Amino acid sequence: MPPIPTALDALLEHYGTSAVAEVTGRSKRLVRDAHGQQRLESRSPRTNLAETTAFMTGAKRILIFSDAGGTGRSYHASLDVKNQQRRVHFLLEPGWRADRAIQGLGRTHRTHQACPPLFRPVTTDCKGEARFTSTIARRLDALGALTRGQRQTGGQGMFDAADNLESSYAKHAVHDWYGLLTTGKLKSTSFAEFQTMSGLELTDQDGVLREDLPPIQRWLNRLLAMKIAVQNAIFDEFLTLVETRVAAAKEAGTFDIGVETISVEACQVLSDTVIRTDPVTGATSHLLELSLTQRRKVLSLERVLKLASYDDKPLFLRNEKSGKVALAIRAPSHMDEEGNTIHRHELVRPLRSEYLHAERLAESAWETASEAEFAKLWEAEYAADESQLVTETVYLATGLLLPIWGALPKEDLTVNRIVDKSGASWLGRHVHDLYVDATLEKLGVSRKVPTDPAKIAAAILGGGTWKAPHPLNFTIRTSRVNGSRRIEIAGAEAARIPELKAKGCFTEIIAYKTRVFVPLDRADAIITSIAVQT
C-alpha cells in the first residue's frame, strides 16, 4: 500500500507548486514535475520571502505556513498589496498550545485590511484534537474572532492556562493523573493496560513510581495513538484535573492572566505617591489611586441564547426568592483527590457568571422556567442595568517596577492597562486595597490617603485578608471551623482580646488555643470599627 502523505505534501501534490506558496522551515522537499517524476528540491531562507510575495501579489492563490513561517510576517488582505481578496484561514494541526494557535490566526487578521478573514478550524473525531480545536473555535466566536485586529497576536486574553496543554498547570495535572492511575482511582484505564497501550515505563524495578516520569508532550502524543474510546476517557480525566488546578490558582489569587486591558468611560487620578526613586538613574516608582467610571457590561439576550445553543442541555432558571434569571450551562468538571468527578454548572447572568456544583443546584432557590418567561425577565434586567455607570477606586503600581516587584503583594499578580475614552492610559501592577498599607510599610513610605474602612470590610467578607498596621499587627481573614465559614482575627495579642470582645467579637478555645472570631451577622460594623481605629 502507498504511504499516507502528510497534509502539507498532500496539498502540494493535489494543487501543485504553481498554485501553493509554502512558508515553512523545510530546507528540502519532494515535488512532482510536469512529467510526473518526483525530484528533490532545495529551499533557501530566501524562498519563504519569495513565496510570501507570490501569495500577497496574487500569483499563488493558496498559502500554507507553519510555526516557522508564522512569526514576523503578515498575510492579511492589506490595502497596500495587490491580493486583497478575503482570506479563508484553515487551522490544521493546531498543536497543544493555544497561544501558538492564536499566533498563527493573527497572521491573517491585521489593521489596514480590505476585509477580515474567515477562520475555519479543521479537526477529526479524535477527542484530543477535537476537544482542543473546539475550545479555540468557541473562544473565537464568543470574543468576535479577533475583531480588534491588534498587532499583539498573543493570547489577547482569549485563552487561559486551562486551554494550554503544555502549561505548568497541565504539567502538574498529568503528574496528578499518574498518581491516580497507580492507585487505581481512574475509570478510564488501569495501570497495566496504560503501560501496555502507551509503551511508557512509569515504575522502577521495585514497582515504585519513577521520579523522571514521561513529560507531558510525550504523554499527549502517545495518547493520540490509542483507541478512540480510551483516548476520549483519558483526555476527559486529564482536562478535569487541569481545570481543577487552574480554578484552585484563581481562588488562591496566584493565577497570572498577563496584561489585562480595562476600558473605562473616565479615569481620574486621586493621589500619586512616589514609593521609590532609583539612586542611579533617578527613575521613580509610583502608587496611583485611580477613580474609574465604567458602564455596566450587560449580556444581551441574543448573546445568552447563542451561548445556550452551544450546550446540549441548557437550563433556563428563575430564582424564586429574588425573581432574577440565569442560564445554566455545563461547566468544566473538577476532580477530587480520590478521583471522583465533581460536575458543575456555570450560571450566566446579565452582569456576571458564577459556578455551582450540580448537586447543589437542586437545593438552591433556582427553579426551571420556560424560554419565553426567561427572555422576558432577562430583557427587563438588561434594560434596567444597561445605562448605569459605576465608580470604583483601584490602586496601580506604575513606573520602574522591577526593583520593587518583590515588595508588591504575592496574592495578586494582575497587570492592568487602564484606557479611558480620551485615549489616556495607565499601565501597572494592580495592588488590592487590603495590601496597600503592608506594601508601603515594606518600602518605608507613609501613606497619604487612608483606606476606606467600608472597602476593607467588603473585601474581607468576600474572602480577602487584611493585615492591620502597627501597633495592632493582627490579621483579619476568613477561615473554616468544623466545616462552617467564619471570620477570624489571627495573631491578636492576649492583652487586646478584651478590647476586641468589647467591640462585639467572641472567642473559642480550639486545640488548646484561644481564637478570636467576628460574628457574621455584625461583621460589617465590627470590621469597620476596627479599621477606623487604625
E strand residue ranges, 98-196: 118-121
For the residues 95-108, what does the mean pLDDT come to? 75
In this prediction, residue 138 has a pLDDT band, given cuts at 50, 70 and 90, of: low
Radius of gyration of the chain (CA): 28
In this prediction, residue 154 has a pLDDT band, given cuts at 50, 70 and 90, of: very low
Express each pLDDT in 405-451 by its tens digit.
888 887 777 788 898 888 888 989 888 877 887 888 888 887 655 66
pLDDT of residue 134: 58
Q: Which residue has the higher pLDDT, 391 or 143?
A: 391
Examine the pLDDT at 333 and tell me if it is beyond 50. yes
Global confidence as pTM: 0.55
Degrees to nearest 5, angle at CA 293 with 287 and 296: 130
47: enclosing H helix or E strand:
helix 45-56
pLDDT of residue 127: 67
In this prediction, residue 147 has a pLDDT band, given cuts at 50, 70 and 90, of: very low
Closest listed residue to residue 94, CA positions, set 62, 61, 131: 131
For the residues 227-252, what does the mean pLDDT come to? 83
In this prediction, residue 146 has a pLDDT band, given cuts at 50, 70 and 90, of: very low
By the 8 A CB rule, do 339 and 331 touch? no
Share of the chain above pLDDT 90, in %: 10
By the 8 A CB rule, do 224 and 129 touch? yes
How many C-beta atoms surround the C-beta of residue 102 within 10 A? 22
For 510, residues 6+ apart whose C-beta sits below 8 A from its C-beta are: 481
Sketch out the chain's domains with CATH numbers: 7-142 (3.40.50), 168-252 (no CATH), 301-385 (no CATH), 451-534 (no CATH)
**All cell numbers assigned to 170:** 497541565
In this prediction, residue 463 has a pLDDT band, given cuts at 50, 70 and 90, of: low
For 19, residues 6+ apart whose C-beta sits below 8 A from its C-beta are: 60, 61, 62
